[in-house]
């Protein structure tokens, strides 16, 4: 019988402990300051680059972990430290996934190193998909890309919103409409380097949580990029659009993935792992508080009302991690998400993070409601997991459609 194990191997444990140490020693002490400043924590990102955490090599090693657990393990430990700072460290990864999912080998080799820079000159990247009127409804996207055949250039016009690192990135990966009649199937992804004429940062958002992570609009006004900046290349795009048009004429057929969805499907278990990290951090704070806080002459954990909450919190966190690990392993093993397992992992982990952080505040009582204790910040941060990269409602829709085979609306 083949061996089955859910235990991390020695190398994975070593990496996990190293990440945990960085999160405890570098990220956590800086968390409250950068949350208040609402600015990109460049010194922390640079420190992560110096030790090798913020680097192409490190993420490649974790991405190609044959068990599939490298990325979720990394996300959980960093986000255990602090969600805002961790997102500043890993936010470039979504743009990198966009290139890996849609680009050629030459494009991957050219652009991904430029997303990270090096320890002496760190860079970041941004993935730009959402728009003011097109979030979950990607078919309503208005940003257009028109091909100028005479110059072999693409001309991009539109406004993107909710872009992590938007406007400050060295490389922007922009999803745009190339054939409006095909809806979401008529989208493509483009590389827009920093300094490209017509590329500008719009509004920077002041957010409820993850405030150390830069989030802004990205405005594209007659932005011209070379044909080589179309991810996947023109020939591949033309073939994909031709198939989509043929299927549309035939009245349906095999589903064609659009550029944004290919990126989100690959990243959803990773977002679930982020949520697990935040939930675990809040649970540990609540557990320690309950063991040391006394009321009526005994620790409050000695009361079933508190102890049972902690038992449920830990159970839900472990269940969420298992769903994330399953989806991550399936993706690495090349197994299809026949029951939308990727969406399941993000949905359950995201909802768990919101619930667990709220329970942590309740256990700490008045103290939990103040900024003197980190659970208040963790609860604000946890709210994002049910919103970005597909809301909980969208995850339920994906799951329901997958299970039923029907176009549920």
Q: Are 383 and 208 in contact (CB under 8 A)?
A: yes
- 3-state secondary structure at position 206: coil
Give the tokens for residue 266: 């690959």
CA pair distance 177, 158, nearest whole angstrom: 10
Interacting residues of 207 by C-beta distance below 8 A, sequence separation 6+: 38, 215, 384
Q: Are 143 and 158 in contact (CB under 8 A)?
A: yes
Distance (Å, rounded) from C-alpha 115 to C-alpha 194? 10
- Is the distance from CB of 19 to CB of 53 less than 8 angstroms? yes
User: Pick the catalytic residue: 77, 265, 351, 389?
Assistant: 389
Of 128, 404, 399, nearest in space to 268 by CA: 399
Catalytic annotation on 235? no
Q: Which of 173, 219, 213 is nearest to 193 (CA)?
A: 173
Sequence-separated (6 or more) residues with CB below 8 Å from residue 336 = 330
CA 313: distance to chain centroid? 23
3-class secondary structure, 55: coil
Structure tokens at 152: 């072999």
Between CA 353 and CA 393 the distance in angstroms is 16
Q: Report helix, strand or coil for 197.
A: coil
Give the residue numbers annotated as catalytic, written as ranges.
Answer: 389
């Amino acid at each position: 019988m083949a061996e089955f194990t859910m235990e991390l191997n020695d190398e994975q444990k070593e990496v996990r402990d190293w990440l945990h140490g960085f999160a405890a020693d570098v990220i956590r002490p800086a968390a409250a300051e950068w949350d208040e400043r609402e600015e990109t924590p460049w010194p922390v990102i640079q420190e992560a680059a110096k030790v090798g955490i913020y680097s192409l090599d490190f993420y490649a090693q974790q991405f190609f972990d044959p068990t599939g657990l490298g990325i979720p393990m990394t996300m959980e430990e960093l986000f255990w430290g602090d969600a805002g700072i961790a997102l500043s460290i890993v936010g470039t990864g979504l743009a990198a996934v966009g290139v890996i999912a849609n680009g050629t080998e030459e494009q991957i080799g050219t652009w991904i190193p430029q997303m990270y820079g090096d320890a002496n000159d760190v860079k970041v990247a941004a993935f730009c998909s959402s728009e003011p009127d097109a979030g979950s409804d990607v078919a309503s996207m208005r940003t257009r890309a028109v091909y100028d055949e005479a110059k072999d250039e693409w001309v991009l016009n539109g406004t993107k919103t909710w872009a992590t690192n938007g406007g400050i990135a060295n490389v922007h990966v922009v999803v745009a409409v190339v054939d409006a009649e095909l809806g979401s199937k008529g989208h493509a992804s483009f590389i827009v380097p920093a300094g490209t004429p017509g590329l500008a940062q719009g509004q920077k958002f002041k957010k409820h949580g993850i405030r150390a992570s830069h989030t802004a609009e990205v405005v594209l006004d007659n932005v011209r990029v070379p044909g080589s900046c179309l991810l996947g290349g023109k020939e591949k795009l033309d073939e994909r659009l031709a198939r989509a048009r043929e299927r549309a004429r035939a009245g349906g057929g095999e589903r064609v993935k659009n550029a944004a969805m290919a990126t989100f499907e690959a990243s959803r278990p990773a977002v679930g792992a982020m949520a697990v990290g935040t939930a675990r951090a809040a649970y540990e704070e609540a557990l320690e508080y309950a063991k040391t806080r006394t009321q009526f002459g005994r620790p409050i954990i000695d009361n079933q009302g508190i102890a049972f909450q902690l038992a449920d919190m830990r159970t839900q966190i472990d269940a969420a991690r298992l769903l994330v690990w399953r989806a991550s392993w399936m993706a690495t093993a090349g197994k299809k998400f026949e029951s939308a397992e990727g969406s399941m992992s993000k949905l359950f982990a995201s909802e768990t993070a919101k619930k667990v952080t709220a329970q942590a505040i309740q256990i700490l009582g008045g103290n939990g409601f103040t900024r003197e204790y980190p659970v208040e910040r963790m609860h604000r941060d946890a709210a994002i997991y049910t919103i970005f990269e597909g809301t909980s409602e969208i995850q339920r829709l994906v799951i329901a459609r997958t299970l039923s085979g029907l176009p549920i609306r």
